[in-house]
Amino acid sequence: MKLIWAATLGALTLFTSCKEPSPLSEGAGFKSIDRQGWVYGDSYEFNPSPDFAETRGTARMAVVVRHTGAYLYSNLWLEVATPVAGSDSMALDTVNIKLADIYGKWLGKGLGVSYVKTDTLPGRYGFDEDVPARVRHIMRVDTLDDVEQIGLIYFEPVPYQN
């Protein structure tokens, strides 16, 4: 009887500890994707976090993708547009975020319902609190399904010298 009680208690503990990951904070530079899918032409805008003391400069960036286990592809191609210092133009960079290995195993953290993958981009990118960076998908589909959130995180800022 003690063995059955211990097994039941252990199973209850296991099931209650495996709940869905909590959603990423909207205040941390994350945007929720429309439930109908991410339309090819739609871009999401991101400003550097308020804790950056300077208003313009360069920084390292990381892209965060939250997707469901039903996502059909092993990667996500993005176009990241960032401001260029001293001009009205934007620098465009094409980024490939690898979400699954060659066997189809998700590389992000999570179980079952959602997976979160963070990828630090190479190099430094311009930032300006008045000109947001933009991110859009450039996959070969009109509407991309099963991507839930996209995020852009700035870190290691270096202010421009005037």
Structural domains in the chain, sorted by start: 26-159 (2.60.120)
Q: For the purposes of burial, counting CB atoms within 10 Å of the CB of 67, is it exposed (0-12), middle (13-18) or buried (19 or more)?
A: buried
Q: Indicate the pTM of the whole model.
A: 0.77
> What distance in Å separates the CA atoms of residue 80 and residue 135, rounded to the nearest whole number?
5
Q: What is the pLDDT of residues 92-113, one digit of tens each?
A: 999 999 999 999 999 999 877 8
Average confidence score pLDDT of the chain = 80
**Confidence check: pLDDT of 26 > 50:** no
How far apart CA 32 and CA 24 sit, in angstroms, is 9
